[in-house]
Structure 1
Amino acid sequence: MAELYSRRSFMVGVLSAGLLSSAAGYLLTRREPVTLTLATGTEPTGGGRNLLINLWNNLNPDIRIVPRLVNSTTQDQYAGFTEGGADIYNLDVIHIPRFAAAGRITPIEPRNALSLLGPVRKVCQVDDDSGRLWAVPFNSDVGMLFRRITDKSLPDSEPELRDVLSRERFVGQLDTTGPLTDEAFVINVLEHALAQDPLILDPEGVLSTSLTQWQGALKPLAEALRSGRVLTRTTEAATIQAFEEENLSYMRNWPVWFPGVDRAERAEPGTAAIRLSRLPIGVLGGQSLAIDSDTPHRGAAEEVIRFLTDTPAQKLLATYGFAPTGRDAYFDEQLKEAEPHLGMVRNAIEEARPRPMKPGYLDFSQRFKEHTYAYLHRGEQLTQRFVRDIQEALK
């Protein structure tokens, strides 16, 4: 175990040095110093993003990035990001359509050879066949199934989520107490519905409007909740705590948490390893960097974004648990040795489905949560009103 994580630390050092070398092409000379404000949420683990920002600032003292941390939920990110203004926004994937529709961001011509994964590119691209992006993907994300291995000598095949629900104790973000946790609940419910019916949400992010289809897709989850086989938590951290303290076999969470969970669990006497599995179909997440339409420093902002999203930066972020956005990072031999789970993550992202990418997504999310929470936790049946509400929100 010590060797595994020593190798990971070594990789961070190697990739940081490599970034310094590759960054020569980004060195800019200006007569007047520029400060670029980057509006972003807090970083969940480690400091990989901050390391990249510090590397840029050390190399470019005349074009400095100053993060403006917005302590907001996914739901109210639009208000939190726009009220204070910024040159660059680090947007959650669901907010890109709203920022674009409001004219808050301007398209970017990607120059980096990023080899973006298909679903990642699709949710960011401008719909005019120009190849431009509304925002350049910074890191990707997708729901994964964590499982505890107690004996490596026993056969170990990837489990199906529907089988886990029927016979094992499992924990996920399947409860909510308000705006801070609503979106995690929505994502988890969508993933369980997709595990039963892959047509409930198609690869373009179009939801089924068949009430019968939704009733069938969510019935197994409702039954598992009522039987006590599923533990419900509101946050990713609370889910990890339950997984560890209850010694559960399975957990749904994001891959960014894998290094920390794996490191902690390998130290426990009853755990041989933690492994990741794909959900049948995961829901796509991630953040992307977009340029404010009114910034007077567009050229500098573009260069900053290209540095932060280029392949060397992707490799560095991967050592902190973030899922790279492009294929090149996944095929790096050193990175594959240090982070062998990344191949599984790439496969999951390539098969992931986006949430409905509409400017009215947040209204949809709220209505979807209200109906499905009442069904799963209070036993209130889904009715045609559920279908009408989600259709109205996504017009």
Structure 2
Amino acid sequence: MDKNTGTGTQPDNRFAYMLVLIRYCEGREVFDRIMEQGLIQESTTAEIVRQAASALLYAHNRGIAHRDMKPENICFCSKDVTNNHVKLIDWGLGFYFGQGRMNSAVGSLTYAAPEVLEAKEKQGYTAACDLWSLGVVTYVMLCGKPPFWGNYNEQLRRMKRETFPMSDATWQQISRPAKDLIRGLLRADPKQRMKLEDVLRNPWLRLQESQSAMDTKIASQVLTNLRQFSRTSQFFTICVASVARQLDHKSLRDVHKVFAEMDTNGDGVLELHEVRAGFQKFFGRDSPQVQDVEQVFQKLDLDGSGFIDYTEFCAAGIGERVSLEEDVLWAAFKAFDVQDDDGRITKEEIQQVLRSGDVNKLWTPQVCQEVAEDIFENFDQNGDGSLDFQDDSTVGKRRSPVKKRAHER
């Protein structure tokens, strides 16, 4: 799961489909905000663009193109108008280009890249199509109008000429870096289009980001939660990860802020150097908390990918209090009750979840079986060969429920 995609995506190489998990967003679409206000303030636009670009970079790095970027598909997480946290939604036209060529003319005429509109069977196009759409979305947010208009042929001609108005009274109030970003994205040649990494390094976005100061007390608490979480058992971390996936945006707001602050390149994951820099910033370069950062990082990297993704960070950062609330424990319980939804968990169900999750990259089937057996040995209170919610709650509330061999990889 990424902090701005609104989904958790898991390509399944065995079948011709991709699993997409949708997180509920209670706020309305960016499109609605534009219709109500006529346009969106430059500072807010920059905040939205930075998040959308981060979501696209996360997806592109996993071989997924969105192909339908538009204000209707960017949604505010909260009804609170002061909260500009957004998610990129509606991946129905998304394409896993890691296993095929994109050659379908899809998306909306106003926002689709010229190479998408002219797509042909043999030629195809790349994920750079999303960059063009991001440029159009940015333009529309800042002035309330699309950069290209007319019928199909007229729009396509203007797109290829890269001609769009930027001189009226509205645009005279817009900063030069914002205009430069749009010009860099609205390049007819996909190879000349600004790269996502360069978008996220753009001075316009970095300036807006630096102006939103992070609460040091909140950041320190989240990072302290990370250190404490790294000392728990591996199975406990998996349980809390399933809890994190169930939490709403309000519960994750502080954790999200800290993650975004530490994710300096905006790719939606944290590398070791970013985590170390975050600990140094909030605790001090020579602090005891910084000394064991590498060990903390390795423990939190549940899937052994070499970086900490948003779900892993949320699981560690939410703290014990949130992870032990009854409603989230129930959500975690249901994540393991996968076969017949009968309110009871069997050894086979635990093994099934462990084998199908990211942990299977680290744990052999034998270790998964041993973990399940250890859990039942310790927590099957009536010895009936299954766990009910009362049993599972006990698993969640004891931080080290499995024996040492469950830590071995």
**TM-score, structure 2 length as denominator?**
0.22
Higher share of residues assigned strand: 1
Higher share of residues assigned helix: 2
**TM-score, structure 1 length as denominator?**
0.23
Q: State which structure, 1 or 2, has the greater radius of gyration over its C-alpha atoms.
A: 2
Could you say which structure has the greater relative contact order, defined with CA pairs below 8 angstroms and 6 or more residues apart? 1
